[in-house]
């Protein structure tokens, strides 16, 4: 067992004269099943193909793309585990100074719009070699889309990259079918029949069961037309009932999206995770300090894929789909045993989960034959009456993992869908989650508490979260534990005005809690929320939605969530005045801030100005504020709340 080839010396050692595929990736090479290049490389290897990994080539050097030579069948290209623009820039479009997917955490080792740049570099060097693109960046930009960073409406990435095919979604099945087709001698331009792929053509006469979307020029001129197109795309992300989607472009070019590939069966998923991964980064990175991203996943277990939660700001519907796919207990336990043999293992498994940890089966029986409902969400606005709510399988899995030798504790960190948890009449899982799988703090994602905003987010109402909080408190008390909730909160999501932002601040005041970090809404490609941001309407019903785009107002909404921070005083004051809530500036215990006071100094008439905290302390003095000390929540430790979008794209 060894790493996949990364240089000519590796090819010589393996007696490989020419690789079948060269995988170009914007991430460092980490041979772990949390990394797409590792999974796709190992899957192809298991089917008899040779694959080399060309990680983070220097796109400024023309010959960098030739380091492993010309592949026999094609180049595979991915920007990495994240969209390269999300990787590079904060929501305020400021350059990040760290990249967890690069040796030593060094930023700038991949280009902006990495998929396009890498492909164009290949095309200049190898004009006739097939290029297949995939990964989160290509998957979510597969059709025309709004690009937040350039503030432009962009074409399908297939056209800008000059690639031949997109393998969208997770890709294990489609990439093997593509490889087999190329290996059999089929020209890449004729590979139009594989589910889970997107291709370009000038002849659509052979495409049946099709929906022709609005053409690119019309959508570019009229954002509302794009909103309607996106709704069609959103309702055709299912392998069982999805249609062929055709997007026309100038000069008679069409981009055709085939329906998604069928979900992996449990047996197929087990095989993917049983492949001979080295489970760490390539040793050539050791001198640079390794690859920081490995720390988050080295002792975590992926138990499922997909999510039927349907949050508006999440791209999972477009990428992994809404049908849950799971690994068997045996597969997960076998991997857990491997973790316990690692010299660095300290007895703690950091996570057993996926996009949503407590989803271990499809939401209803019909999904595996008829697909998900096109115009109905499983949990929103209320749980569907046909939804199966059962935590027994997940609970049994957790019990088995925590009973393994050398395992001291098994945590659940990848997120619990609390409305699904509440829908379970059996509290056994909830109690054992609290008793055995919380590390003092349970992270949950209410995102907001205004029902106006929550309805746009596709999240349950505030009343549901309140019931969850109370139940969590009650179970902790029964078990004699003092554990807390750390809520993910988002500012400036479409639908949120200053009124709703103030409502959230009041909630935090009553809770006695101030988040260490706040996630401002980040418009990433191919989400319902991003379409709202760009078009000003909800694509699901075409009704107008308030969108906060002004940077100053966004700063005010963000500051309200952290209104106790003295640095935010002026922003909070301005926001309260603009919202007509001067009643929250004063000395009453319900007030968020106090007016500035003039205080005589000991040296006479000179004075200085400061704002008082609601409990009478001066700015800069640490305080928990007016609210009663919460029994179920407390401020998160520094850096506890991570970027939610980073988490969902990983």
3 state SS for 539-600: CCCCEECCCCCCHHHHHHHHHHHCCCCHHHHHHHHHHHHHCCCHHHECCCCCCCECCEEEEE
Look at residue 597 in the predicted model and tell me its pLDDT: 67
The two structure tokens encoding residue 52: 């080399």
Look at residue 610 in the predicted model and tell me its pLDDT: 42
Question: Could you give the 3-state DSSP secondary structure of residue 154?
Answer: strand
* Of the listed ranges 148-162, 272-286, 313-327, 494-508, the one predicted with least confidence: 313-327
Which three-class secondary structure string do you get for 511-524?
HCCCCCCCEECCCC
The two structure tokens encoding residue 494: 């479409």
| 528-535 and 223-234 helices, crossing angle to 10° | 170
Note the pTM of the prediction, 2 decimals. 0.90
CA angle 602, 603, 605 (to 5 degrees): 100
CA distances from 430 to 350, 479, 498 (A): 18, 12, 36
Q: Within 13 Å of residue 25, how many CA atoms lie on the same side as its CB? A: 28
CB 494 within 8 A of CB 533: yes
pLDDT for 172-211, tens place per residue?
999 999 999 999 999 999 999 999 999 999 999 999 999 9
Q: Model confidence at 14, in pLDDT bands (50, 70, 90)?
A: very high
CB neighbours of residue 643 within 10 Å? 15
Residue with tokens 């740049």: 117
Does 271 reside within a domain? no
Residue with tokens 């069948």: 73
CA distances from 608 to 150, 602, 605, 614, 621 (A): 45, 11, 10, 19, 17
Does 159 reside within a domain? yes
Look at residue 606 in the predicted model and tell me its pLDDT: 43
Residue 353 and residue 487: Cα distance in Å, rounded?
18
Residue 302 and residue 258: Cα distance in Å, rounded?
28
Q: Which residue has the higher pLDDT, 330 or 620?
A: 330
CB 165 within 8 A of CB 21: no
Residue 639 and residue 165: Cα distance in Å, rounded?
40
The two structure tokens encoding residue 246: 């055709």
Indicate whether 66 pLDDT > 60: yes
The two structure tokens encoding residue 511: 């809770």
Does 614 reside within a domain? no
Does 442 reside within a domain? no
Q: Which residue has the higher pLDDT, 257 or 632?
A: 257
Sign of the CA dihedral 429, 432, 434, 436?
negative
Q: Span 66-89, mean pLDDT?
A: 97
Sign of the CA dihedral 636, 637, 643, 644?
negative
Q: What is the CATH classification number for the domain harbouring 41?
A: 3.40.50.2300
Residue with tokens 């659509």: 204
Look at residue 515 in the predicted model and tell me its pLDDT: 87
Radius of gyration of the chain (CA): 26
* Of the listed ranges 36-40, 239-243, 534-538, 629-633, the one predicted with least confidence: 629-633
Indicate whether 82 pLDDT > 60: yes
SS3 content of the chain, % helix, strand, coil (to 5): 35, 15, 50
Look at residue 643 in the predicted model and tell me its pLDDT: 41
Q: Which of 412, 468, 404, 471 is nearest to 440 (CA)?
A: 412
Q: Within 13 Å of residue 540, how many CA atoms lie on the same side as its CB? A: 18
The b-or-e profile of 375-408 (16+ CB within 10 A means b, else e) is eebbbbeebbeeeeeebeebbebbeebbeeeebe
Residue 446 and residue 311: Cα distance in Å, rounded?
11
pLDDT for 342-386, tens place per residue?
999 999 999 999 999 999 999 998 888 888 998 889 999 999 999
Asked, as a colleague might, if the bond just before 566 is cis with ω within 30 of 0, I would say no
Does 180 reside within a domain? yes
Q: Model confidence at 622, in pLDDT bands (50, 70, 90)?
A: very low
Domain count, the chain: 1
CB neighbours of residue 159 within 10 Å? 16
First to last CA, the chain: 26
Indicate whether 605 pLDDT > 70: no
Q: How big is the chain, counted in residues?
A: 650
- State what percent of residues in the chain have pLDDT above 70: 92
pLDDT for 592-601, tens place per residue?
999 986 444 4
The two structure tokens encoding residue 472: 């969590």
Residue 257 and residue 534: Cα distance in Å, rounded?
23
CB 394 within 8 A of CB 353: no
Q: Span 49-78, mean pLDDT?
A: 97
Q: Span 515-529, mean pLDDT?
A: 93
Sign of the CA dihedral 577, 581, 586, 592?
negative
pLDDT for 405-462, tens place per residue?
999 999 999 889 999 999 999 999 999 999 999 989 999 999 999 999 999 999 999 9
The two structure tokens encoding residue 399: 């019990």
State the DSSP H helix or E strand holding residue 329, giving kind and residue range, or none if neither.
helix 329-340
Does 311 reside within a domain? no
Indicate whether 602 pLDDT > 60: no
Question: Could you give the 3-state DSSP secondary structure of residue 136?
Answer: helix
Q: Which of 203, 207, 146 is nearest to 528 (CA)?
A: 146
pLDDT for 292-324, tens place per residue?
999 989 999 999 999 999 999 999 988 999 999
Residue 584 and residue 578: Cα distance in Å, rounded?
12
Residue 395 and residue 358: Cα distance in Å, rounded?
9
Indicate whether 284 pLDDT > 70: yes
Does 189 reside within a domain? yes
Does 162 reside within a domain? yes
pLDDT for 85-137, tens place per residue?
999 999 999 999 999 999 999 999 999 999 999 999 999 999 999 999 999 99
Look at residue 596 in the predicted model and tell me its pLDDT: 83
Look at residue 516 in the predicted model and tell me its pLDDT: 82
Residue 229 and residue 219: Cα distance in Å, rounded?
8
Q: Model confidence at 648, in pLDDT bands (50, 70, 90)?
A: very low
CB neighbours of residue 212 within 10 Å? 14
User: What range defines the domain where residue 34 resides?
Assistant: 8-197
Q: Span 622-647, mean pLDDT?
A: 39
Residue 97 and residue 297: Cα distance in Å, rounded?
22
Tell me the pLDDT of the chain averaged across its residues.
Answer: 91
Q: Within 13 Å of residue 203, how many CA atoms lie on the same side as its CB? A: 5
Look at residue 599 in the predicted model and tell me its pLDDT: 47
- State what percent of residues in the chain have pLDDT above 90: 86
Look at residue 391 in the predicted model and tell me its pLDDT: 97
Beta bridge partners of residue 75, listed in sequence order? 22, 131
């Amino acid at each position: 067992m060894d790493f996949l080839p990364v240089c000519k010396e590796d090819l010589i050692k393996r007696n490989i004269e020419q690789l079948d595929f060269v995988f170009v990736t914007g991430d460092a090479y980490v041979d772990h099943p949390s990394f797409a290049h590792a999974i796709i490389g190992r899957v192809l290897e298991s089917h008899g193909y040779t694959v080399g990994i060309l990680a983070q080539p220097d796109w400024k050097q023309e010959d960098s793309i030739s380091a492993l030579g010309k592949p026999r069948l094609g180049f595979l290209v991915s920007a990495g585990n994240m969209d390269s623009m999300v990787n590079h820039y904060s929501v305020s479009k400021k350059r990040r100074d760290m990249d967890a997917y690069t040796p030593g955490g060094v930023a700038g080792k991949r280009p902006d719009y990495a998929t396009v740049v890498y492909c164009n570099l290949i095309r200049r060097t190898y004009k006739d070699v097939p290029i297949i693109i995939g990964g989160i960046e290509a998957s979510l930009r597969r059709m025309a889309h709004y690009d937040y960073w350039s503030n432009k409406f962009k074409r399908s990435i297939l056209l800008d990259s000059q690639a031949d095919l997109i393998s969208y979604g997770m890709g294990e099945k489609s990439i093997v079918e593509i490889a087999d087709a190329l290996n059999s001698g089929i020209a890449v331009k004729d590979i139009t029949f594989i589910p889970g792929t997107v291709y370009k053509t000038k002849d659509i006469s052979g495409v049946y069961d099709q929906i022709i979307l609005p053409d690119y020029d019309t959508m570019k001129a009229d954002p509302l037309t794009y909103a309607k197109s996106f709704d069609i795309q959103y309702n055709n992300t299912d392998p069982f009932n999805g249609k062929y989607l055709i997007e026309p472009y100038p000069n008679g070019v069409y981009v055709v999206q085939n329906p998604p590939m069928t979900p992996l069966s449990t047996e197929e998923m087990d095989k993917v995770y049983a492949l001979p991964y080295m489970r760490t980064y390539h040793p050539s990175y050791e001198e640079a300090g390794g690859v920081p991203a490995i720390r988050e996943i080295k002792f975590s277990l992926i138990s499922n894929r997909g999510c039927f939660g349907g949050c508006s700001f999440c791209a999972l519907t477009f990428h992994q789909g809404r049908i849950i796919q799971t690994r068997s207990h045996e597969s997960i336990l076998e991997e857990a045993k491997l973790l316990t043999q690692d010299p660095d293992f300290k007895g703690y498994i950091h996570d057993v989960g996926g996009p949503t940890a407590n989803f271990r089966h499809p939401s209803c029986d019909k999904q595996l034959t008829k697909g998900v409902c096109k115009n109905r969400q499983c949990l929103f606005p209320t749980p569907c009456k046909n939804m199966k709510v059962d935590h027994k399988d997940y609970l049994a899995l957790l019990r088995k993992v925590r009973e393994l030798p050398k395992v001291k504790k098994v945590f659940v960190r990848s997120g619990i869908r609390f409305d699904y948890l509440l829908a379970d009449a059996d509290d056994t899982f909830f109690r054992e989650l609290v008793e055995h799988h919380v590390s003092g703090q349970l992270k949950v994602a209410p995102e907001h508490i205004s029902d106006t905003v929550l309805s746009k987010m596709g999240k349950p109402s505030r009343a549901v979260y309140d019931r969850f909080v109370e139940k969590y408190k009650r179970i902790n008390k029964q078990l004699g534990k003092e554990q807390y909730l750390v809520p993910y909160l988002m500012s400036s999501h479409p639908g949120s005005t200053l009124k709703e932002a103030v409502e959230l601040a009041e909630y935090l005041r009553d809770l006695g809690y101030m988040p260490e970090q706040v996630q401002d809404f980040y418009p990433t490609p191919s989400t319902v929320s991003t379409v709202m941001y760009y078009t000003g309407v909800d694509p699901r019903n075409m009704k107008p939605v308030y969108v906060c785009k002004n940077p100053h107002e966004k700063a005010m909404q963000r500051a309200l969530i952290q209104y106790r921070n003295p640095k935010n005083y002026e922003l909070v004051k301005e926001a309260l005045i603009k919202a007509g809530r001067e009643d929250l500036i004063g000395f009453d215990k319900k007030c968020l801030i106090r007016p500035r006071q003039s205080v005589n100094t000991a040296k006479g008439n000179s004075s200085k100005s400061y704002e008082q905290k609601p409990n009478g302390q001066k700015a800069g003095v640490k305080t928990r504020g007016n609210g009663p000390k919460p029994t179920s929540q407390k401020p998160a430790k520094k850096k506890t709340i991570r970027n939610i979008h980073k988490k969902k794209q990983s």
